[in-house]
Amino acid sequence: MRTPLVAANWKMNGSREFAEQFFAALDLEGLSCAVVICPPYPYLPLVAEKAGEGFSIGAQNLSDETSGAFTGEVSAAMLLDWGVRYAIVGHSERRSLYGESSELVARKFHAAQAAGLVPILCVGESLQEREEERTLEVIASQLQAVTEAAGESAGGDVWSRAVIAYEPVWAIGTGKTATPEQAQEVHRFIRERLGNAGAAVQILYGGSVKAGNAEALFAQADIDGALVGGASLDAEEFSKICRAAG
Ligand code: 13P
């Protein structure tokens, strides 16, 4: 049985005041799903103070390096120091706006795992790639970059301490959600590609998830939760999404 997981990606939004108000309004009472809050780096300590209250902390990014002269970067060990348990890697905004290649994303994935963090690997196709019917090919290559970077030694263990988020780029922040059936098709494909570990890996859907569409998405066999952007900035809306997950 996979535990449902709902993660909030605040992106570059919020303030100290926002965070205080968010946690005052967040209502996770009685939920059995796992909840992860990923604030911007400066608010990690503030979120860490609250994190006993039914959720874990995640980072939105991390360095592929362990330490040294890398101005502006944050290592996995530093995140662990603040009680962070998860790190998003390969978000489409990082891939498209900051030029992160699948190879760099794969190095970040392994840096997170090596330090004991659980990477949340984002994969997903652009609108053009979907229209050209290349969705599954694109996702297969994003996954393959991670297994290739692991080399032979990792065996089948690459995916056993990881979360995957399927985020179709055309559905992010656009109000357009993949239909539950469209998402399920890709989620099942991803699970099959993960091999033996696949059955136990949580695969989240991301892209305009709201309280109003969460239940239908979560009803699909291979959708284990959500990675939520815009709607995670509203504590009541986000609480409802978590409630829909269980
Ligand atoms: P939205 O929920 O705002 O579409 O963002 C999705 C996302 O990018 C989460 O990482």
Q: Which atom of ligand 1 is nearest to the CA of 173?
A: 4
Measured by CA distance, the residue closest to atom 1 of ligand 1 is 229
* pLDDT value at 73 more than 80: yes
pLDDT value for 65: 98
Mutate to test the pocket of ligand 1, among 9, 11, 204 (most ligand atoms within 8 A of CB): 9
pLDDT value for 1: 79
* pLDDT value at 40 more than 70: yes
Give residue 65's domain range.
5-245
For 11-39, what is the mean pLDDT?
96
pLDDT value for 156: 60
Q: Which atom of ligand 1 is nearest to the CA of 207?
A: 4
* pLDDT value at 152 more than 70: no
For 127-155, what is the mean pLDDT?
89
pLDDT value for 174: 87
pLDDT in tens, 78-118: 999 999 999 999 999 999 999 999 999 999 999 999 999 99
pLDDT value for 11: 98
**Ligand 1 — pocket residues by CB below 6 A?**
9, 91, 167, 172-173, 206-209, 227-231
pLDDT value for 153: 56
pLDDT value for 52: 79
Report field, pTM of the whole predicted structure over 0.85: yes
pLDDT value for 125: 97
CATH number for the domain that contains residue 118: 3.20.20.70
pLDDT value for 216: 97
Instruction: Dig out the tokens for 148 from the structure.
Output: 């290739």
- What total of structural domains would you count in the chain? 1
For 33-38, what is the mean pLDDT?
98
Structure confidence at residue 229 as a pLDDT band (50, 70, 90): very high
DSSP string over the chain: -PPPEEEEE--S---HHHHHHHHHH---TT--SEEEEE--GGGHHHHHHHTTTT-EEEES---SSSSSS-TT---HHHHHHTTEEEEEE--HHHHHHS---HHHHHHHHHHHHHHT-EEEEEE---HHHHHTT-HHHHHHHHHHHHHHHHTGGGTTGGGTT-EEEE--GGGTTSS----HHHHHHHHHHHHHHTGGGGGG--EEEESS--HHHHHHHHTSTT--EEEESGGGGSHHHHHHHHHHH-
For 163-192, what is the mean pLDDT?
94
pLDDT in tens, 198-209: 999 999 999 999
Ligand 1 center from residue 228 Cα (angstroms): 5
Q: Which atom of ligand 1 is nearest to the CA of 171?
A: 4
> Burial level of 126, CB count in 10 A (0-12/13-18/19+)?
middle
User: What value does the mean pLDDT of the chain take?
Assistant: 95
* pLDDT value at 9 more than 80: yes
For 24-32, what is the mean pLDDT?
94
Mutate to test the pocket of ligand 1, among 88, 209, 210, 217 (most ligand atoms within 8 A of CB): 209
Q: Cβ(204)–Cβ(166) under 8 Å?
A: yes
